[in-house]
């Protein structure tokens, strides 16, 4: 349990330490495409491993338009389902017996009941 809590807190610390950019989203009703305009013309240097993740998902422009990140991974207590809202970093990790999450203000823990 300590390990899961440590990983969760480390994940929050890692995701909260990011640079904010001024991005304006303009929607053209005729073309119905999103156009992003940024005041910065240079791109942020990302680690090579992270850039390969972006490329595997269609590039950085596609990644920036995504709203959620969901994945499953095998943990010691079974399959963990991780869901993160990429806009506000609200997070939920679900297992068979419990769920833990971050609602934007607080971290919470819920023990799941059997039906």
Q: What is the pLDDT of residues 20-72, one digit of tens each?
A: 444 444 444 444 344 444 433 347 889 999 899 889 989 888 888 888 989 99
Q: Which of 70, 21, 25 is nearest to 41 (CA)?
A: 21
| Ramachandran category for residue 41: left, alpha or beta (phi over 0 → left; psi -120 to 50 → alpha) | alpha
Q: CA neighbours within 13 Å on the CB side: how many for 103? A: 7
**In contact, 45 and 35? CB cutoff 8 Å:** no
- 11 three-class SS: helix
Cβ neighbours, 10 Å, residue 8 = 18
Q: What is the pTM of this model?
A: 0.51
């Amino acid at each position: 349990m300590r390990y899961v809590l440590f990983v969760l807190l480390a994940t929050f610390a890692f995701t909260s330490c990011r640079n904010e950019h001024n991005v304006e989203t303009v929607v053209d009703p005729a073309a119905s495409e999103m156009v992003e305009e940024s005041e910065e013309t240079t791109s942020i240097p990302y680690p090579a491993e992270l850039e390969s993740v972006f490329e595997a998902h269609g590039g950085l422009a596609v990644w920036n338009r995504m709203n959620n990140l969901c994945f499953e991974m095998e943990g010691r207590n079974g399959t963990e389902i991780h869901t993160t809202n990429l806009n506000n970093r609200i997070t939920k990790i679900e297992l068979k017996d419990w769920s833990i999450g971050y609602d934007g203000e607080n971290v919470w823990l819920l023990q799941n009941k059997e039906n």
